[in-house]
Amino acid sequence: NAGVTQTPKFQVLKTGQSMTLQCAQDMNHEYMSWYRQDPGMGLRLIHYSVGAGITDQGEVPNGYNVSRSTTEDFPLRLLSAAPSQTSVYFCASSYSTSGTGNEQFFGPGTRLTVL
């Protein structure tokens, strides 16, 4: 298994540009989520999905969109990039969110810089 994969690893955008961060998992996990990691603030949840066709907002959803058309993929879209979105982005997945199998597996992260 490749686990959780993210592309790209690094990205530089100009203010106002849009882009999509890709996330895929091959473990047949139902639960997928996106976090951003900023210095001194830990990981904060942006959006999450409990299955194909179902998404919901996390703690910091503004400026981001998600969709979940398949179990495997969970892309994160930045609609109009702002310097405040400069961060490291992590995608994660888990088999479930209750009971056995609720530990999250993380992708390698995407470092995004918005100029």
Write out the residues near other proteins by the rule CB under 8 A. 31, 33, 35, 40-45, 48, 50, 56, 58-59, 88, 90, 92, 96-98, 102-106, 108-109
Query: In whole angstroms, how close is the CB of 97 to other proteins at the nearest point?
Result: 5
Bridge partners, 49 (sequence order)? 32
Tokens of 111: 């470092």
Query: In whole angstroms, how close is the CB of 72 to other proteins at the nearest point?
Result: 19
Query: In whole angstroms, how close is the CB of 18 to other proteins at the nearest point?
Result: 25
HSE-CB for 70 with a 13 A CA cutoff? 10
Nearer to other proteins, 45 or 82 (CB): 45
Neighbours of 40 (CB within 10 A): 4
Closest CA relative to residue 35, chosen from 112, 115, 100:
112
Nearer to other proteins, 18 or 62 (CB): 62
